[in-house]
Amino acid sequence: MSENFASVSFEDLMSEVAALIVEALNLDVQPQDVKPDDPLYGEGLGLDSIDMLEISLVISKHYGFQLRSDNENNDKIYASLRALTTHIASQRTK
């Protein structure tokens, strides 16, 4: 399975994650307009805690690992699209 992950570049994965976020939340932006280092929560995309929960569910289903609300690193994990993608790349099972 990890062979499939190796064939996907980080940039491609980041684009895929942006598309998942935009689609799951019905945002009025294009996935390519989500800036990699802008904050997801609050400023940047302007997401709130309910949005973050929805993102967690979509990512858990799509990539096969659990994002937990009690994770002490959530501020870092959800800091930006790049940070979230980095976490996904290190944890994914699908």
pLDDT in tens, 43-80: 888 899 899 999 999 999 999 999 988 889 999 999 99
Architecture in CATH for domain 2-91: Orthogonal Bundle (1.10)
- Burial code (b: 16+ CB inside 10 Å, e: under 16) for 4-34 equals eeeeeeeeebbbbbbebbbebbebeeebeeb
pLDDT bucket at 90, cuts 50 / 70 / 90: very high
More confidently predicted of 2 and 78: 78
The residue ranges of every structural domain in the chain are: 2-91
